[in-house]
Amino acid sequence: MPIGDRKREIRARMLVNGAATGPLTALDNPISFWGGVDLATGKLSNPSHPQCGVSLRHAIVLMPHTIGSTAGPGALLELLAADLGPAAILLDEGDPAPVVASRVLSFIGETATPVGVLSKEGYAAAKAWRDANAVLKDGVLSPVTATS
Amino acid sequence: MTPRLDLTAAEQKSLSGDDGQAMQWAMETIVAAADAMDAERLTAISSAHLVGAYHSGPANVALLEKLLRAEARVSVPTTLNASSADLTDDAASCFRGSAGADARKVVRMLTQMGCAASLTCAPYFLKTRPQFGDRVAWAETNAILFANSVIGARTLKTPQYLDLAAALTGKLPEADVLTDEGRAPALCIDASVLSRWWFTDAVAFELIGYAVGGIAGSRIPYVYGLPDAIDQLMLRSMCAAMGAAGGIAMAHIEGSTPEAENGRAHCEAADLFSSAIKLSDVTLFNIRKTLGDSATSPVSGVFIGSPHLGLEDIARLNQQIDDRKGALKAPLYASLGRDVYEEAARAGFIAALSARGVQFVRDTCTYYTPLADNLPLPVVTTSAKWAAYGRAGLNVDPIIATQAEAVEAALTGEFNRDDAYWRP
């Protein structure tokens, strides 16, 4: 899907380094990984979230931050280890919860899932690419255009 | 690592692996969290309370096994939160499938690292309760709110694994509510127009807390207009409900919490009072509706103790049930930590209440157990947290109730609103 003629890039401050490719799934509200995501499917499961049913699996997930139970990283770790979790997580504010879950993943011998923070402007710009395929590499997010 | 983070020589040593692989993982985790939180240094903590005492899956087990192989040991006194099953030897069959064995394994590994198997979500009832000004690494949202707001201890809303890393290293990033500036309120909530009849039952503080948590989001609120010197059990209710509805780690409550005067001064200086959000009777009735407001109805059961009951809660329950005759017509499940259970047993409350049919669930929360699965009729709870999680995560229809309504529902098998309390 063509996104535009101009090649665009958004720089992320990476909290956990890594590369990812996938659809850019933008969550309008924060989520809790504990009780907010179905651990058997990777889909949002809290009926009070406006995007309940949306899958996070293999997506570059754009989300404000996490909320809810302090047990969130435990749920996120299991999702990631079971290959049901996001390909990358990009936040609009620093949040240690996804960072520590991803770091546990690398400690137990799996590939860490990249986690980054975008600036306010970068976050808003990335939201405009929602559902496009995107690449995150070396701290740079860019949409995959039809010609690239 | 953030260039701004300033580590001591000892912290650098742990980070470089000189103190072993477990300590290196822990220090790397603390440093990564410090980076995410823009901290400039780490701070020492005097104790920790870990949320991960339940079985969350094989990756968690792999982490704990690897840490144990690397001889991980906690460096500060560390207690464990509620587990996913009642692990006491005399527990009724109170877990699903292999949940009991799995949870036991997780708890055993954590105790091998030196954690105390307290298995309670109410660590403020333990002898290890911190003092005003102590810096600690607590997880479990209700406990964090109680520690920061009511005790005046200082803890981040410490997520799982950061809590374990903090217990191993004795450190946390110095950020957020660990700093003076991080404890300043960002909005005011005015409760002065609430009718005064509310405050005779803890359910008011459940509803107020749920309202405040929803309004505050992730901003620390300064709440005023409530009665002075609210007792700790009611503050406990308010903290638990704030945690269930919001993302805050702390609240100031005028006349009741130890740092409220600082909070007031900040609100005056920042002119936050002029934009205060008012709580009204209608607000609280709407929260009651959200949490569960069925009319008169036969019930499948009554669930109390979310968070875990304290000794005083049990003494009050004993008094209420002792005042009435007859067997319970609906099951009443009371959840509590094993330490409080022992205290209550020594005081004679467990024997007396068990004889009347009250069923005690230790170590876990009833919403992890099959006790609350697919109940055909509404269930009564005094806890906003239980009602909110029960409605979202279990196939049940909760009703939020006063203490007296809950006991009455258990005795009669029927729920009836107590019109003497709930004025129009």
* Stretch 262-291 of chain B: residues touching chain A, C-beta under 8 Å: none
Q: What confidence tier does B320 reach under pLDDT thresholds 50, 70, 90?
A: very high
User: Exposed (0-12), middle (13-18) or buried (19+): which is B127, by Cβ within 10 Å?
Assistant: exposed
Does pLDDT of A120 surpass 60?
yes
* Stretch 187-246 of chain B: residues touching chain A, C-beta under 8 Å: 218
Strand (E) positions, B191-326?
221-224, 252-253, 277-278, 297-298, 301-309
User: H or E element: which one contains A115?
Assistant: strand A115-117
Q: Please give the average per-residue pLDDT across A63-79, as a whole number.
A: 94
Closest Cβ–Cβ partner in B33, B66, B218 for A96: B33
Does pLDDT of A147 surpass 70?
no
State how far the Cα of B326 lies from the Cα of B7, in Å rounded to an integer. Answer: 64
Chain A residues in contact with B157 by the CB 8 A cut-off are 70
CA dihedral B223, B229, B230, B232 (to 10 degrees): 110
pTM: 0.95
Chain B residues in contact with A16 by the CB 8 A cut-off are 32
**Using an 8 Å Cβ cutoff, are B402 and B421 in contact?**
yes
> B307: which 2 tokens?
């968070």
Instruction: Give rounded-to-5 percent helix, strand, coil for chain A.
Output: 25, 25, 50
Query: CB–CB of A30 and B247 under 8 A?
Result: yes
Q: What is the pLDDT of residue B389?
A: 85
Q: Which residues of A touch B (CB under 8 A)?
A: 15-16, 30, 35, 39, 46-48, 65-75, 77-78, 80-82, 94-97, 99-101, 103-105, 107-108, 110, 117
Q: Please give the average per-residue pLDDT across B380-390, as a whole number.
A: 93
Mutate to test the interface with A, among B25, B54, B56, B219 (most CBs of A within 10 A): B56
Instruction: Tell me the CA distances in angstroms from A30 to A73, B387, B424, one per residue in order.
Output: 14, 21, 36
Does pLDDT of B93 surpass 60?
no
Q: Cα B95–B96–B102 angle (5° rounding)?
A: 80
Average pLDDT, chain B: 94
The model's pLDDT over A14-32, given as tens digits with 9 standing for 90+, comes to 999 999 999 999 999 999 9
Q: What confidence tier does B90 reach under pLDDT thresholds 50, 70, 90?
A: low
Q: How close B172 gets to chain A, by Cα (Å)?
A: 12
Q: What is the pLDDT of residue B306?
A: 96
Half-sphere exposure of B220 (CA within 13 A, CB side): 26
> B95: which 2 tokens?
């877990």
Write the CB contacts of B390 (distance below 8 Å, at least 6 apart in sequence).
B303, B367, B372, B379, B381, B396, B398
Query: CB–CB of B218 and A78 under 8 A?
Result: no
Q: What is the pLDDT of residue A3?
A: 46
The model's pLDDT over B250-275, given as tens digits with 9 standing for 90+, comes to 999 999 999 999 999 999 999 999 99
Among candidates B134, B419, B227, B421, which has minimal Cα distance to B238?
B227
Does pLDDT of B390 surpass 90?
no
Q: What confidence tier does B367 reach under pLDDT thresholds 50, 70, 90?
A: confident
Q: What is the DSSP letter of B371?
A: G
Q: Lowest mean pLDDT: which of A129-143, B47-61, B381-395?
A: B381-395
Does pLDDT of A4 surpass 70?
no
Query: CB–CB of A30 and B161 under 8 A?
Result: no
The model's pLDDT over B194-232, given as tens digits with 9 standing for 90+, comes to 999 999 999 999 999 999 999 999 999 999 999 999 999
Does pLDDT of B30 surpass 90?
yes
Query: CB–CB of B33 and A68 under 8 A?
Result: no
Among candidates B60, B124, B371, B342, which has minimal Cα distance to A108?
B60
Amino acid at A102: S
User: Exposed (0-12), middle (13-18) or buried (19+): which is B282, by Cβ within 10 Å?
Assistant: exposed
For chain B, report the end-to-end CA distance as a whole number of angstroms.
Answer: 58
Tell me the catalytic residues of A.
Answer: 69
**Using an 8 Å Cβ cutoff, are B293 and B214 in contact?**
no
Instruction: Tell me the CA distances in angstroms from B409 to A40, B41, B380, one per residue in order.
Output: 37, 53, 7
**Using an 8 Å Cβ cutoff, are A145 and A13 in contact?**
no
β-bridge mates for residue B189, sequence order: B223, B277
Minimum CA–CA partner of B163 in chain A: A70
